[in-house]
Structure 1
Amino acid sequence: MTSGAALRRGRRRAPRGSGERLRVEILDATTELLLENGHAKDVSIRAVAERVGVTSPSIYLHFADKDALLDAVCARYFETLHDEMQRAVQGQVSTLEALRAQGLAYVRFAIATPELYRIATMGEGSPGSDVDAALTSSAFVHLRGSVESLIREGIYPPGDPTTLTLELWTAAHGVAAMLIAKPYLPFGDPMTFADNVLRAVCTGHMTVGIVGADAGPQETLHWVLDNKGARR
C-alpha cells in the first residue's frame, strides 16, 4: 500500500486563491480514505488533512465538521447515479422494461461501491442533507418519470406516483442493502437475484391495477387462476 507520505509528495498544494480546487482535493482524499478503511469512523479530519497535505483548520474552512464532509463526499459520489440510470433506459423497448433497467442500474451501482453506499444510505439521515438531495434528484426522479408514464399508459393503476415510486425505490434499496450487508446468504448470482425481485415488484403493480387495490391475496389468486388459460 502506498504510504501517506508518498501520497502527500505526489499531491501538489492548491495555490493561494484556489479554494474550489482545495475543496475538490479534500473530497477526493476523503473518498480515498473511505474506500481504504470501509468505515466512516476510521476516517478523521486529521487523516484527511494529512492526505491532502494541509492543516486541519484548512478543512474546516470548507466543511463545518466531519459529518458535513462525509455528507458532501457521498452526495458528490451519488451524483454519478444520475448518469448510470440515464444510460440504463437507452434501447429499452417499453416503459416497463425501462423501469426494470433503472432498478437494476441502481442495485448494480450500489454493490459496485458498497462502502460509500452503506455510509450514504444505511446511516442516520438528516432531512435536507446533500446526500438525500443527490439521491432524490437521481434515483427518485428517474423512477418517478417511468412510473408517471406507466400510469398514463394505463399499465399502472391511477394514484399518487410519488408513493408508488417510493415503494419501488424501497424495493431496489432493500435488495442492494441485503446484497451488501449479507453477501454470504445463498442469493446466487447477485444481479439475477435483483432482477427476480424487481421484476416481481414491477409486474405486481400491474396486477393490482387489473384486480383492484382492495383485492386481498386470495382474491388475487382466484383471478390469476381464472385467467391462467388465457396465456395458452
Structure 2
Amino acid sequence: MTDQVAPRPRSPRGTGEQLAEEIIRATTDLLIERGTEEAVSIRAVAGRVGVTPPSIYLHFADKEALLDVVCARFFEDFDDVMMKASDGVDDLFDRALAQGMAYVQFAIDSAAMYRVTFARISPPGEPTLTDQVLLSSAFVHFSDTVEEMMKQGLIPQGDVVQTVLKLWATAHGLASLMIAKPGLPWGSDGELAESTLRAVCEGLSRG
C-alpha cells in the first residue's frame, strides 16, 4: 500500500480555505486509521489529498501545527456533543452528570482521536491552540455548571477550577480505562461510569 495518489488538478484562486479543510479532514482520517501521530506524515497527508507536500506547508507551518489544528477541531466537536447532552437539563446535578457522561461516551466513540489528542504533551506555560480551544469550550462549560452549583449552595463554595479538575479527572480516567480495557465489566450503557460520576457529584455536595 502506498500513500501516493494521482495529483489533483490545480485549484482555482480563492480555494485555499477549502484545501486547508481537506487537509484537516485527511489528517483526521489518517489518525483514526493508523492510531498514532507518529504513523501520519506530511507526505501521507499530501498523498491522501492529492497534492504535493509543499502545498501542505502553504497552510500549516509544520506537522505539529497541523496536528494542533486537527486536535483543536476535535475539542470543538467534543464541546458541541457535551452541550447538546445537557441542553435543557435544569437540575444542576443531572446537568453535571449529563456533561460527564457525554464526555465519556464521545471519547469512546472517537477512541483513536481521543488517544492522539491527549497523548500530545503541552510544554509548561505554553498553551497550544488545542489547549486554548479546550479551555474556552468544554472546560468553560464544566466551570459554569460548577459555579452555578456553588451559588445555589448545592456544593460548598471553593476554587471552581480545582473542583472542575476533580470532575474532569474522573471522566477522563473512566474514558481512558474504558477505551484501553473494553473487556472489563463496565456494564451496559456505561452503567459503572454513570454510577462513578454520580458518586463524585454526591461527594462534592458533602464537601
TM-score by length of 2: 0.90
Structure 1 counterpart of 2:160: 161
Structure 2 counterpart of 1:206: 205
Residue correspondence of structure 1 range 1-232 to structure 2 within 5 A: 5=5, 14-126=11-123, 127-189=126-188, 191-208=190-207
Gaps of 5+ in 1: 209-232
Shift of 1:12: 6.5
Instruction: Quote the Cα distance in structure 1 between the aligned partners of 2:98 and 2:132.
Output: 22
Instruction: Quote the Cα distance in structure 2 between the aligned partners of 1:150 and 1:49.
Output: 48
What residue identity is the alignment partner of 1:37? R
1:12 to 1:137, Cα distance in 2 relative to 1, 3 A: farther
Give yes or no for contact 2:31–2:40 (8 Å, CA) kept in 1. Answer: yes
User: Which is further off, 189-198 or 154-163?
Assistant: 189-198
What residue identity is the alignment partner of 1:15? P
Shift of 1:167: 1.2
What's the CA shift string for 1:21-42, capped at 9, x where partnerless? 1111110111111111122111
What residue identity is the alignment partner of 1:183? P
What's the CA shift string for 1:170-227, capped at 9, x where partnerless? 111111111112222332336112101111111100112xxxxxxxxxxxxxxxxxxx
Instruction: Quote the Cα distance in structure 2 between the aligned partners of 1:83 and 1:12.
Output: 35
1:87 to 1:113, Cα distance in 2 relative to 1, 3 A: same
What's the CA shift string for 1:125-148, capped at 9, x where partnerless? 243112112222222111111101
Give yes or no for contact 2:186–2:193 (8 Å, CA) kept in 1. Answer: no
What residue identity is the alignment partner of 2:66? L
Larger Rg: 1
Kindly report the root-mean-square deviation, in angstroms, between the aligned alpha carbons of the 2 structures: 2.0
Instruction: Quote the Cα distance in structure 2 between the aligned partners of 1:100 and 1:138.
Output: 17
Instruction: Quote the Cα distance in structure 2 between the aligned partners of 1:13 and 1:110.
Output: 38
TM-score by length of 1: 0.81
Which structure's relative contact order is higher, taking Cα pairs within 8 Å and 6+ residues apart?
A: 2
Give yes or no for contact 1:14–1:21 (8 Å, CA) kept in 2. Answer: no
What residue identity is the alignment partner of 1:33? L
Give yes or no for contact 2:76–2:133 (8 Å, CA) kept in 1. Answer: yes
Where in structure 1 do 4 or more consecutive aligned residues deviate above 3 Å?
Answer: 11-14
**Fraction of identical pairs, as percent:** 49
What's the CA shift string for 1:66-89, capped at 9, x where partnerless? 121111111112201222121122
What's the CA shift string for 1:93-122, capped at 9, x where partnerless? 411110110101111111000000111113
Instruction: Quote the Cα distance in structure 2 between the aligned partners of 1:12 and 1:85.
Output: 40
